[in-house]
Structure 1
């Protein structure tokens, strides 16, 4: 039986290092982590309803409204009416938001290359499979 305490410590240490890196990178881009998280979700999804975006972020629509207001004022996102449901508002990236997302995404890809450089292709595949399974548990 694997040592659960050792695994737990390794997971926490990895999370803390990744979180520290993320905070540093986002701060250098003049954004907050929740703002960048919003751009990341919108960058890999089609325009989303506020409710859908809130669910993906794990926040209330009230919290998201404040976040989207700030991003809209900074020119990163725009709201537009849903074409089929007049009661719904879609949120999407502007060109500036797409550019910010792409720049941040490329930093994620570089970090992934750097921290997995010593892994074989098979190990990377296994890591991807395991992380996907762990993410599905949330």
Structure 2
């Protein structure tokens, strides 16, 4: 009988961990997790087409467009014409974007994926099937969800990282 209480408690702890990380990230950097992931992906590659960013961070093209719009409004990225194909637009990180990345913590899923990758194959299979079953039990298995732990928008009234 207490098993369901333990399960619900664990689910709430996961939700709280995601919320706390998101609040900390937003407070420290003014970025949400997807914004940070996109900024990091572009920074690593130097310049990137939006379609390539979408593949790199496993988000839809529409979501990437929205995130890049927000990052551009915040002065963290610029859009530039590709040198090789003048029709193509590439995203580049600005100096302000590089400053923002310097002190940013690792994305929440980074530590999770490191620990998850250290598990035995049987453990990963058990966890994946169990969590998929849980998603089905709360009727969330049909939702379109990116493999990142938090999504949000930047807005002008959010705290900005000190320069």
Q: Give the TM-score taking structure 2 as reference length.
A: 0.53
Query: How do residues 103-122 of structure 1 correspond to structure 2 at under 5 angstroms?
Result: 103-104=103-104, 107-108=105-106
CA positional deviation for 1:20: 4.6
Aligned to 2:45: 45
Shift of the 102–18 alpha-carbon distance from structure 1 to 2, 3 Å rule, reads: farther
Paired with 2:94 and 2:20, the residues of 1 have a C-alpha distance of 26
SS at match of 1:92: strand
**SS of residue matched to 2:30:** coil
The Cα shift of 1:25 comes to 2.5
Structure 2: gaps spanning 5 or more residues: 1-10, 125-146, 148-163
Structure showing greater relative contact order (alpha-carbon pairs closer than 8 Å, 6 or more residues apart): 2
Secondary structure of 1:96's aligned partner:
helix
- Relative to total residues, which structure has the larger helix share, 1 or 2? 1
Partner of 1:102: 102
Q: Which residue of 2 aligns with 1:23?
A: 22
Aligned to 1:67: 67
Number of aligned residue pairs: 111
Alignment partners' CA distance in 2, 1:47 and 1:86: 14
State the SS of the aligned residue for 1:31.
coil
Q: Distance in 1 between matches of 2:37 and 2:21?
A: 10
> Retained in 1: the 8 A contact 2:46–2:93?
no
TM-score (norm 1): 0.61
Q: Distance in 1 between matches of 2:82 and 2:52?
A: 13
Q: Measure the CA separation in 1 of the matches of 2:21 and 2:45.
A: 21
What SS does the corresponding residue of 2:46 show, helix, strand or coil? coil
- Matched residues in 2 for 1:35 and 1:49: separation? 16
Deviating beyond 6 angstroms after TM superposition, the runs of 4 or more aligned structure 1 residues are: 15-18
